[in-house]
Amino acid sequence: MTELDLAPTLAAEQSARPLWEPEHDELRTTARRFVAEQLAPHVEQWEAALDFPREVFEQVGAAGWFGLKHGPQWGGSGPDLRAQAVWVDALARCGSGGLAADLGAHSDLAMLYLDRFGTDEQKARWLEPSLRGALLGALAITEPGTGSDVAAVSTRARRDGDDWVLDGAKAYCTNGAWSDWVVVAARTDPDDPHGGLTLFVVEADDAGLTRRRMSMLGWRLSHTGELAFDALRLPDDRRLGDVGGAFLAIMRNFAWERICMSIGAVAAAEVGLDMAIGWARQREAFGRPIATFQTWRHRFAVLATRIAAGRAITEQALRLHIAAEEDGDDIDPREVLRVTAMAKLLTQRLAFDVADDCVQVHGGAGYMMEYPAQRLWRDARLGPIGGGTEDIMREIIGKASGW
């Protein structure tokens, strides 16, 4: 049998394996309690102020939530991607997409690059304090004119003696407006679209860096930033990984980013459905609760079914990713890519649809800023865009399926 012939068999074997161990179930209870007690009670106040304290990162770091997928030599308790998935699920239930985005981008975007591609010296400099929440990281790939087409990145890094000089701009960078360090993808070979990209670490006080916080429809607590690099000089020890290795690194890390987005979307959909049902049970029309009308019971039934499907395919993507990354199983990378894209495609629109119905069942109250349904709706809208659009996911699924 060929490798391609074996892929469905290996994938089926992964499906039959239990995903969660007893310790993960215990961790889930602890993680959700932490979010419910330490983060969620402050969300309304922070959302009204359009800001939250940086000390939250230290609070989360001190509790160990940033260290679940990193080794003990850097202060972590892992690596355990299952445990990290438990935390991602819990964090998505905090009530604010922007808060979850900033904490998640620090952990599952920026630090992931350092852990996988950094030297020991780089990890000691940035990763270890970031696990404690003492430093804050970000990832900058997207540009004002370049999103899903990573090969079109135009920010330039040119050699100048032993240094590199960066020129260009980045946009929609979560944490970019207030991070202490940021992983930047820059073009080091203008003639090679894929092999001509390299990663660098830029620090907040580097001369030549300017940035501003962007104002967004949703994620209003997120310090998403626009960055500009003007003859920003970096020594070679700020290079992360091999020269020309950024494209493959980004493609590899996209898989985990999309799984995290899928986990978060399923959790947000569950929160939204609970919110909608809770409102429908206590809101009356024509002399009885809205929840007793068949039209809403059937809509809730469809949403619950879609959530179950979203959870199932997301957990399958997680199984395959763990098998390839942690267990060393010979899983066809095309199958991991395909199932991960399916999970993201399904769950992001699901989360928005649930939020939309949650607004609808609230009636006029759903359109008022004083009710959380509107924030659920605004925060969910980014899902079908960020981390690869719906159209890109469809293209990935088609190509990985050989169509």
Task: Considering only the C-alpha atoms of the chain, give the largest distance between any 2 of them, rounded to a whole number of Å.
Answer: 79
Tokens, residue 71: 């080794």
Length of the chain: 403
Work out the number of other CB atoms within 10 angstroms of the CB of residue 212: 11
C-beta of residue 393 within 8 angstroms of C-beta of residue 111: no
Active-site residue (options: 257, 270, 315, 325): 257
Active-site residue, 257 included = yes
Q: 286 φ, ψ to 5°?
A: 55, 35
C-beta of residue 187 within 8 angstroms of C-beta of residue 155: yes
281-312 b/e with 16+ CB inside 10 Å = b? eeeeeeeeebbeeeebeebbeebeebbeebbe
Q: What share of the chain is helix, strand, coil (3-state, %, to 5)?
A: 55, 15, 30
Cβ-based neighbours of 166, under 8 Å, separated by 6 or more: 155, 156, 157, 184, 186, 200, 202, 208, 229, 231, 232, 233, 234
72 CA to centre of own chain: 23
Q: How far apart are CA 200 and CA 388, in angstroms?
A: 22
Please report which helix (H) or strand (E) contains residue 158, including its range.
Answer: strand 156-160
179 CA to centre of own chain: 16
Alpha helix (H) ranges present in 177-287?
Answer: 246-282
One-letter amino acid at 86 equals V
The SS3 assignment for 215 reads coil
Residue 51 DSSP one-character state: -
Tokens, residue 288: 């009885």
Number of C-alpha atoms within 13 angstroms, CB side, residue 317? 29
Residues noted as catalytic = 257
